Amino acid sequence: MKKPWLVGLLLCLVGSLALPSLTYASHPAQLTPFPTPTPRPDGRIIYIVQPGDTLIRISLISGVPIEELRGLNKLTGDNIIVGQELLLGLGGPTIQTPTPGPSPTPTLEEPTPTPLPGIGTICVLLYEDINGDAMRQESENAIPGGAISLSERSGKASFNAESRSGSDPICFNDLPEGEYTISVAIPAGYNPTTLNTAILELRSGDEAYLDFGAQKNSEALADGFTETGSPSSPLLGIIGFSFLLAGILLGLFGTRLLRGR
């Protein structure tokens, strides 16, 4: 029978030889420390794939779920390569505090100028409507001696003038804006062929022209015949005198014929 102390010594020796292998097998695998990426100027947080990295490992060390990693980087599987840039998320670029500069000098606002009232022009022509068609022809000139009246409704302007012969109208310049009543008084011996009064809305920059027509009446034509004679009066006088002279000569010729018998 073996000695008990010898058996115990052998057991201790075997236990001391097995102890190191058990100690080494109990250490877990160590993960590479994760360097926290700094957000880029555009706000993206990028991780560069290192040798030995897998998508699961990067998800564990970065704290970003693996499905989110796939969605951010448009990955359909778990295949990644060394040096590949993986988007982990969005951060914010470093905010730089601007250096305060000098305060701008306030600009003094100038008062808004009061707009000047608008002005315009109204020209009036009283013409002799020879053919009576109420439309002025180039050959129909002005009638002198007619009265022209112009007044603004609110009383801002009022003018009177007398028509004159020729072809140019009577113009009233620099009139203030407003509603104007323009009327003409036709001289004796004429009948109107158009309305004698007109209402006009004058605005800034307007230049309005109004024509009023009139035609000689029968009395004027008769007076003209009495005073100056018809345009054919001289010719008729000559013809009449010729007939009278011919009559006298015929009378003398007839008297001589009677005496000769």
Mean pLDDT of 21-28: 42
Question: Pseudo-torsion of CA 85, 86, 92, 96, nearest 10°?
Answer: -20
CA distances from 190 to 134, 135, 166 (A): 14, 16, 17
Mean pLDDT of 43-54: 89
Q: Which domains does the chain have, with CATH numbers?
A: 44-90 (3.10.350.10), 119-220 (2.60.40.10)
In contact, 127 and 143? CB cutoff 8 Å:
yes
Whether residue 55 is predicted with pLDDT greater than 60 in this model: the reply is yes
Higher pLDDT, 78 or 127: 127
In contact, 155 and 100? CB cutoff 8 Å:
no
Q: In whole numbers, what is the pLDDT of the chain averaged over residues?
A: 78
Q: Assign 111 a pLDDT band (cuts: 50, 70, 90).
A: confident
Whether residue 102 is predicted with pLDDT greater than 90 in this model: the reply is no
DSSP 8-state assignment for residue 186 = P
Q: How many angstroms separate the CA atoms of 47 and 35, rounded?
A: 9
Q: Assign 23 a pLDDT band (cuts: 50, 70, 90).
A: very low
Burial 118-135 (b: 16+ CB within 10 A, else e): ebbebebbbbbbeeeeee
Query: How confident is the model over 242-253, as pLDDT tens digits?
Result: 666 766 776 666
